[in-house]
Amino acid sequence: MASEFVARVGFKTDHSSPVRFIWSHIIRHPVVAVLMVIGAFSNAALAGAVPVFIGQAFNAVIAGQGSEAIISMALAIVASQLLRAGLQLVRNFSSEIFAQRIERDVRDELYASLLGKSMTFHDMQPVGEIMARVTNDVREMNLMMNPGFNLIIGSGMFLLVPLLTSPTIYPSLILVPAAFLTLYIWAQYRFITSLHPIAEAVRAGFGRMNARLAETIEGLQVVKGAAREQQEIDAFADKADEVRDYFIQQGDIEARYLPYLMLGLSIFAGLLHAVYLYQLGLIDTGKIVAFMGQIFLFGFPVFTSMRSLSQVALGYASASRILNIINTETDLDQNRSGHNQPIQGAVEFKHVTFGYVEGNPVLHDVSFKIEPGQTVAIVGQTGAGKSTVTKLLNRIYDVDAGQVCVDDVDVRDWNLAGLRSQISVIEQDIFLFSRTIAENIAFSKPDATQEQIEDAARKAQAHEFITSFADGYQTVVGQRGVTLSGGQRQRLAIARAFLSDPPILVLDDSTSAIDSATEDLIQRAIWAASRGRTTILITHRLSQIRWADHIIVLRQGRVVAQGKHDDLLRTSEAYRRIFARYEKPVEKVVS
């Protein structure tokens, strides 16, 4: 299975089906599994001992044996239930450990899988839907284990004990427990098959609801700006109603749960059978009490199985949704055995064609070459494919046709981590984590010293505004850096690039949100940083384009001109149009 990143986990699970996936996690913890089964069996066996002791006490009273026999039976009941309580503690403690470990492992496995997916995969997946799987679906697998499987195993033992104990009271008394068990298994199969599609619909509906919520929160500024709050509330309410309706359907199935009826009929049939044997003189009063106590043990599985089976159905549906993510093959692989050497900085596009959507190419037969240490500007109208070029360079996406080469090696033949760690891309849409400023700057070099962090910030002209904050470099920025201005976010991103000291530096319109005075300072720093490294500038600013050793002009995904600034102004109509739009008037630019 292709993956950009594979987590270093100490276990391997089976992804061939939800059942095998669940089982492969269960068998990773054999000790707690065995303790849970032992605790469940002992709980049922000791619960079944109570009616036997009570039946013997009845016989002792009827026979006039005195209080000693009754006291001994009472002490036996107390002792058995104390032992049962201790074993129950072991069972419940083990099952909770079991459930928590499985939730931890599944969440780690799913999170690592998501990090390994390509951007093509993530572009097509709503963030809210992914979050629903990482959080709620994984939690459902926890609940599937405890109380789900915990109660199913425990109730299963309560089904076996009457089947084993009844014939010891009188052989024919096995008839009612055997009949109940047979019908119970049939009823549970019918219940599960009816419930499974509803459980899947519940989980899918929750995912859609969560996706709508996440999308609205992410775009809240747009919602408020367009005064669309009420419409979004109504849309979310429709999604919530959808989930509610699925739960109502689940409740309708649960309301027709047959084992409740079967339990009442079994109690009636068991009592009738025991009384008949009593009239024949085959059993005494104490054995009737003991037998009916065994029949009443069926009450525990009947009253708990509806909840536990519903929980297992939801957990199974969640496991299936999690596997759908894990098993989705991505377009890229990390190529661990690939080329992995220090990059010298040569870049070449050879007849590259690429589109984000099949059949709709963004780049058409693009070819150009960049020498090591060269500063190259890529210019073009909006939508020409400039940013796409950078995404192909560090293999965020792979080309549909042609080759992208770094140091004369196809990027697909590079070790993916080795390639990306040596290419730093600063985009216009800066992403900052909700962490301290120092952590954001040192993101690609977490072992950087405070002195190195501050030096990078000074080069990016960010040190002054950082130290103006009360907590300085320990200031925590909001999610995506919303507590900072656009210019401040861009300067932090530039500082992050300076700190990593990459052989190839890509600046994708990275000074668009910076005022002219600050831009001049940053441009000097970028110019200094570009020395000795390959630098690719994607910009409309003439002041930056003039630095370039070479300029590539894109128009509608094609290279229409290449050369120096002054030469392109004379020879390229497409280049002149760009500056007629962004640097009006062109005549003043030329002068």
CA–CA dist 530, 540 (Å, integer): 18
pLDDT at 6: 60
Contacts of 585 (CB under 8 A, 6+ apart): none
pLDDT at 590: 38
pLDDT at 392: 92
Interval 446-484: pLDDT, tens: 889 999 999 989 888 889 899 999 999 999 887 666 678
Written as one letter, the residue type at 339 is H
List the chain residues with pLDDT less than 50: 1, 584-591
The closest alpha carbon to 176, from 63, 9, 90, 294, belongs to: 294
The closest alpha carbon to 133, from 394, 317, 331, 296, belongs to: 317
Q: What are the tokens at 380? A: 């073009």
Q: In angstroms, how far is the first alpha carbon of the chain from the final one? A: 58
pLDDT at 586: 40
Strands 375-380 and 550-555: parallel
Contacts of 510 (CB under 8 A, 6+ apart): 426, 427, 428, 490, 493, 494
> Domains in the chain, start-ordered, CATH in brackets?
18-326 (1.20.1560.10), 347-422+502-590 (3.40.50.300)
Q: What are the tokens at 484? A: 């900072």
Q: What are the tokens at 205? A: 């509906």
